């Protein structure tokens, strides 16, 4: 037997650097005088992409939750499909029509992403027709992680607010995904191409250093940013206020929740608007809700002004909040220039590891507590919710809220399952019926037939039942940590499912027994009179009230100016 | 209005309510409802019943209405009342809240 190691074929170890040099050389050759340093005039953007991209490249087109590299997206649709085809798109959000147009016209073939809310129905159609191959649907953090493992972009097309002559970038308050994308691309021999709104002599601050940026194009129009986190208080219902009262008294006060993340719906906006009124009446200021992983929600202005909030780190920004954030720099993370620095990757990590509670809405909950926003005929993904709404199994630091939840979950258990540890509070807050009498509680999630329809290996569940600790509806609060069997869990869920078919099919005796044990708590059990749930409890009842509460610093986008 | 559905329910009760002026809560608007609670009409049989009349724009939810009204009746056990509801697609949660708001002002009659 010959144990000598066979010498490997001589191999080249710097192909990435070589390919990078070739791309840059091709861009320089084809653009000629249209390339000025790193700058390319907007009319040459398609030529730039034709030269920079190769077939089968992995391309990250910055499509974030809010900020979009929309000019580069429109340019990508126009490249020469003879030269650029079969791209593998890796991007967090499919928000713009162009994000799918590239698949329809053969420029791209494969897709790995996180969220496709506005394009969900069209994506499902394209998948059914074979026009898109989906690698996987990820959480934001999970996709960013793969940028550094096996989905590293060869070319990143990003959006920033401004650049200087050297190519340093200022992202403005919506930094969002940019640092994660650029880091993965620039340090693996990739090309970073940025669209900016303007070139300036002096940037307010540098969010991306010029050495990581290859080309800069001034877009003819400012990059698109969606105000996704603005909730008009005028639309908050009494039922949402009732649920918010139960959240504050039955959860936040009960567990002493200091650090948390809120979803984006009206349900959680109601909680934010009840802190300075109802929360204050319970003497909870300083005892709950001091530290947040949260975008600058306008609905939180009254609580901030009333001294409830010590710190907020943000995934992104929110249009209209710029001056308010600047004037409250003790609370928000801001640069030396005064403007917000958001960062989705770090904020997702903060929400996962450093928050004790996540509360958000969903569309459907099944009898195991599995929760999903997936509906038939749409492929949407869940963005950040699964990371916010999951126990952080790697967490080791303690807090009273985390320890209390852990004690409740493990009481009476032995061995590995009984070993003391804490648990994150993960709350699903839903009205039992949505609009048009769609039940929020179902025997079978739409996720199951959708998985079959779209050929997925797993049903797209947003938050797994074994991560959900509480379900809050207008009928009450079910504490799943205290359930000791699947049957108890099922009845606890039925017991807050109201008049849905799932709720009506409850075992009434067992539900009353769970109520006696405190597994289910009604408003009355928490000392809440349902009739007190009026809109008078809202610290702001209109957009105008929010502006007033901010001392005029908050400037809502036009579509929210309804006075 | 076309498309409205009329539903009628009667439940027995034990609590007689002191004389009161009709109570009206809520408004007829999308996702909302109006609840009018009155003493049973003069001359109506004193039969220990509480009568519910529902006019709703959302057809086909009779079983849910019955469950919501039965639970309300179990909570309050009224008799000798007439409850009229004009609904524009309110959820059961809103219906229950309005009913409880309407019932809040009623006092039990002295025995």
pLDDT, one tens digit per residue, over A465-498 is: 999 999 999 999 999 999 999 999 999 999 999 9
What's the whole-number mean pLDDT along residues A184-212?
98
Q: Are residues A209 and A274 in the same domain?
A: no
What's the whole-number mean pLDDT along residues A492-518?
97
Question: Bridge partners of B50?
Answer: B11, B81
8 Å CB contact of B91 and A475: no
Could you tell me the pLDDT band of residue A214, with boundaries at 50, 70 and 90? very high
Residue A328 has pLDDT above 90, yes or no: yes
- How many distinct structural domains can be found in chain A? 2
Q: Are residues A150 and A261 in the same domain?
A: no
Contact of A409 with A489, CB cutoff 8 Å? no
Q: Are residues A333 and A478 in the same domain?
A: yes
Q: Are residues A104 and A239 in the same domain?
A: no
Q: Is residue A390 part of a domain?
A: yes
Residue B111 has pLDDT above 70, yes or no: no
Question: Three-class SS of residue A295?
Answer: coil
Question: Bridge partners of B36?
Answer: B24, B84
Could you tell me the pLDDT band of residue B40, with boundaries at 50, 70 and 90? confident
Q: Are residues A175 and A241 in the same domain?
A: no
Q: Are residues A196 and A339 in the same domain?
A: no
- Would you state the pLDDT for residue A154? 98
Domain boundary among A218, A242, A264: A218
CB contact A267 to B (< 8 Å): no
Read off the pTM. 0.95
Query: Which of A239, A504, A531 lies closest to B93 in CB terms?
Result: A239
Q: Is residue A241 part of a domain?
A: yes
Task: State the Cα–Cα distance between residues A141 and A384, nearest whole angstrom.
Answer: 7
Q: Is residue A526 part of a domain?
A: yes
Range with the lowest mean pLDDT among A65-69, B37-41, B63-67, B82-86?
B37-41
Per-residue pLDDT of A335-365, as tens digits, reads 999 999 999 999 999 999 999 999 999 999 9
What residues of chain A lie within 8 A of the CB of B64, using their CB?
A: 499
Pairing label, strands A215-218, A191-196: parallel
CATH topology of domain B5-104: Ribosomal Protein S5; domain 2 (3.30.230)
Task: State the Cα–Cα distance between residues A360 and A489, nearest whole angstrom.
Answer: 20
What residues of chain A lie within 8 A of the CB of B101, using their CB?
A: 531
Average pLDDT, chain B: 90
What residues of chain B lie within 8 A of the CB of A474, using their CB?
A: 93
Q: Is residue A10 part of a domain?
A: no
Rounded to the nearest 5°, which phi and psi values hold at B108? Answer: -70, 140
Q: A283 CA to chain B: closest CA distance, Å?
A: 27
Residue B18 has pLDDT above 90, yes or no: no
Q: Are residues A208 and A264 in the same domain?
A: no
Q: Are residues A246 and A207 in the same domain?
A: no
Closest residue in chain A to residue B61, using alpha carbons only: A437
Give the number of beta-carbon pairs within 8 Å between A and B. 40
Task: State the Cα–Cα distance between residues A50 and A47, nearest whole angstrom.
Answer: 5
On the 0-12 / 13-18 / 19+ scale of CB atoms within 10 A, A490 is buried
Q: Is residue A69 part of a domain?
A: yes
What's the whole-number mean pLDDT along residues A268-286?
98
Q: Are residues A200 and A166 in the same domain?
A: yes
Q: Is residue A557 part of a domain?
A: no
Instruction: Give the structural domain span for A494.
Output: 233-547
Q: Are residues A123 and A201 in the same domain?
A: yes
Residue B30 has pLDDT above 90, yes or no: no
> A117 or A210: whose pLDDT is higher?
A210
- Would you state the pLDDT for residue A2? 66
Average pLDDT, chain A: 96
Query: Which of A238, A437, A530 lies closest to B58 in CB terms?
Result: A437
Token digits of residue A150: 């096996």
Task: State the Cα–Cα distance between residues A511 and A323, nearest whole angstrom.
Answer: 50
Domain boundaries, chain B: 5-104
Task: State the Cα–Cα distance between residues B60 and B77, nearest whole angstrom.
Answer: 26
CB contact set of B49 (below 8 Å; sequence gap of 6+) = B10, B11, B12, B13, B79, B80
- Would you state the pLDDT for residue A94? 96
Q: Is residue A532 part of a domain?
A: yes
Q: Are residues A427 and A474 in the same domain?
A: yes
Distances (CA, A) of A186 to A211, A538, B97: 9, 48, 58
CATH number of the domain encompassing residue A148: 3.40.1080.10
- Would you state the pLDDT for residue A297? 98
Task: State the Cα–Cα distance between residues A134 and A379, nearest whole angstrom.
Answer: 10
Q: Are residues A41 and A64 in the same domain?
A: yes
Q: Is residue A128 part of a domain?
A: yes
Token digits of residue A254: 């009960």
Residue A299 has pLDDT above 80, yes or no: yes
8 Å CB contact of B89 and A437: yes
Q: Among B61, B74, B97, pick the best mutation site for testing chain A contact (most A Cβ within 10 A).
A: B97
Token digits of residue A357: 């509670």
């Amino acid at each position: 037997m010959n144990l000598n190691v066979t010498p490997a074929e001589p191999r080249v170890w710097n192909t990435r650097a070589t390919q990078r040099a070739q791309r840059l050389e091709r861009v320089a050759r084809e653009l000629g005088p249209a390339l000025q340093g790193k700058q390319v005039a907007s009319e040459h953007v398609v030529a730039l992409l034709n030269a920079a991209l190769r077939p089968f490249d992995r391309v990250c087109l910055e499509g974030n939750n809010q900020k979009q590299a929309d000019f580069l997206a429109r340019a990508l649709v126009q490249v020469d499909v003879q030269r650029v085809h079969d791209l593998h798109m890796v991007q967090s959000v499919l928000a713009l029509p162009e994000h799918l147009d590239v698949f329809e016209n053969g420029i791209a073939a494969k897709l790995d992403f996180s969220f496709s809310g506005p394009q969900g129905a069209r994506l499902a159609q394209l998948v059914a027709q074979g026009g898109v191959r989906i690698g996987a649907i990820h959480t934001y953090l999970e996709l960013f992680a793969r940028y550094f493992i096996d989905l590293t972009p060869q070319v990143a097309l990003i959006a920033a607010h401004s650049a200087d002559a050297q190519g340093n970038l200022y992202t403005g308050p919506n930094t969002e995904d940019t640092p994660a994308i650029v880091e993965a691309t620039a340090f693996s021999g990739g090309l970073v191409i940025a669209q900016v709104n303007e070139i300036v002599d002096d940037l307010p601050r540098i969010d991306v250093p010029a050495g990581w940026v290859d080309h800069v194009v001034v877009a003819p129009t400012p990059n698109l940013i969606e105000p996704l986190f603005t909730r008009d208080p005028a639309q908050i219902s009494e039922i949402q206020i009732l649920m918010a009262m139960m959240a504050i008294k039955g959860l936040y006060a009960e567990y002493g929740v200091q650090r948390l993340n809120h979803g984006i719906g009206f349900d959680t906006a109601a909680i934010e608007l009840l802190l300075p009124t109802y929360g204050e009446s319970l003497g909870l200021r300083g005892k709950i809700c001091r530290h947040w992983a949260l975008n600058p929600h306008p609905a939180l202005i009254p609580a901030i002004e009333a001294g409830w909030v010590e710190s907020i780190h943000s995934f992104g920004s929110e249009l209209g909040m710029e001056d308010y954030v600047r004037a409250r720099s003790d609370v928000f993370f801001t640069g030396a220039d005064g403007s917000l620095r958001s960062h989705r990757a770090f904020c997702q990590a903060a929400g996962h590891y450093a928050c004790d509670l996540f509360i958000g809405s969903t569309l459907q909950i099944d009898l195991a507590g599995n929760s999903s926003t997936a509906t038939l005929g749409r492929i949407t993904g869940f963005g950040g919710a699964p990371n916010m709404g999951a126990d952080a199994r790697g967490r080791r630091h303690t807090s009273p809220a985390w320890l209390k939840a852990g004690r409740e979950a493990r009481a009476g258990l032995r061995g590995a399952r009984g070993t003391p540890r804490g648990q994150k509070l993960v709350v699903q807050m839903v009205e039992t019926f949505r609009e048009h009498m769609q039940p929020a509680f179902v025997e079978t999630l739409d996720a199951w037939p959708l998985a079959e329809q779209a050929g997925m290996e797993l049903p797209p569940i947003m938050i797994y039942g074994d991560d959900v600790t509480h379900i809050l509806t207008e009928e009450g609060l079910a504490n799943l940590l205290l359930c000791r069997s699947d049957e108890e869990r099922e009845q606890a869920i039925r017991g807050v499912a109201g008049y849905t078919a799932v709720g009506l099919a409850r075992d009434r005796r067992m539900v009353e027994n769970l109520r006696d044990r405190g597994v289910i708590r009604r408003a009355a059990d928490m000392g809440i009179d349902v009739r007190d749930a009026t809109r008078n409890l809202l610290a702001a009842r209109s957009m105008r009230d929010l502006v007033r509460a901010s001392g005029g610093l908050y400037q809502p986008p036009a579509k929210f100016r309804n006075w | 209005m076309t498309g409205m559905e009329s539903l009628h329910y009667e439940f027995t009760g034990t609590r007689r309510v002191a004389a009161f002026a009709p109570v009206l809560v809520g408004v007829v608007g999308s996702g909302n409802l109006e609840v009018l609670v009155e003493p049973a009409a003069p001359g109506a049989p004193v039969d220990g019943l509480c009568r519910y009349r529902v006019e709703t724009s959302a057809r086909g939810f009779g079983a849910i209405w019955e469950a919501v009204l039965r639970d309300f009746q179990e909570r309050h056990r009224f008799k000798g009342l007439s409850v009229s509801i004009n609904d524009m697609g309110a959820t059961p949660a809103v219906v229950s809240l309005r009913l409880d708001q309407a019932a809040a002002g009623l006092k039990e009659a002295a025995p």
